[in-house]
Amino acid sequence: MIDEIGELLLDAVVELIPNRVWKILAFVIGLVATAAGVLMIDRSLWTGVTLVIVGLSLRWLSALMAPVNGSPSLRRHKPPH
């Protein structure tokens, strides 16, 4: 019962946040994780490499996310003739 309510609330919150915000959030977290991993490599090789891989994966994922239907694309389109 509580699980279903929590899942319903989480689904409602996720649907309210636009896809563009998720892309930016994934990119920023990826950048931070990559930078932290590079700085951490001197102390712990495994932790640093893991953070770099997670960071690069998040940045790659943010680039793959498709734009929401109806939202403007970041690419410029040629005007019709």
Q: Digits of tens for pLDDT over the chain (81 positions)?
A: 888 888 888 888 888 888 888 889 999 999 999 999 999 999 999 999 999 999 999 999 888 876 655 555 555 555 666
CA distance linking residue 73 with residue 70, whole number of Å: 9
> Identity (one letter) of the amino acid at 24?
I
pTM of the model: 0.65
User: What is the per-residue pLDDT for 78?
Assistant: 59
Asked if 37 and 55 touch (Cβ cutoff 8 Å), the reply is: yes
Q: Is 3 exposed, middle or buried (0-12, 13-18, 19+ CB in 10 A)?
A: exposed
Q: Where are the alpha helices (DSSP H) in 1-70?
A: 2-16, 19-40, 45-64
User: What is the per-residue pLDDT for 33?
Assistant: 95
